[in-house]
Structure 1
Amino acid sequence: MNHIQPITQGGLRVLTTNQLAESFGADSKIINRNFQRNFDRYAHGKHYFALSGEDLRTFKGTRQFDDSLKFASILYLWTEKGAWLHAKSLNTDLAWDAYEKLVDEYYMIKENVVPLSKDQALVTVLRTTADLVEDTQAIKEEQHEIRKLVTHLDNKVEEQITLTSGEQRRLQKGIAYKIYEICDDPEQRPSLFRELHREIKDRFGVASYKDVKQRELLTALRYIENWIPRKVS
Structure 2
Amino acid sequence: MSNLIKINNQQLEVKEFKGQKVVTFKDIDRLHERAEGTAKRNFNANAKHFVEGVDFYFVKPADVKKYEIRTSEINNAGSYLITESGYLMLVKSLTDNLAWKVQKEFVSNYFRLKEIVRADGIKVISLLHAEVGELIAATSQIENRVENLENTMTIDYSQQLILQELARSTAIEAMRGKENKAYKDSSLRSKVFSQVWKDYKEYFNVNSYRNTSRVEFMKAKEYLRNWKPQGKLLRSIEDLNNDVEKIEEGFIC
Same fold per TM (> 0.5)?
no
For normalisation by structure 1, the TM-score amounts to 0.42
For normalisation by structure 2, the TM-score amounts to 0.39
Q: Which has the higher helix share?
A: 1
Structure showing greater Rg: 1
Q: Which has the higher strand share?
A: 2
Question: RCO higher in 1 or 2 (8 Å CA, sep ≥ 6)?
Answer: 1
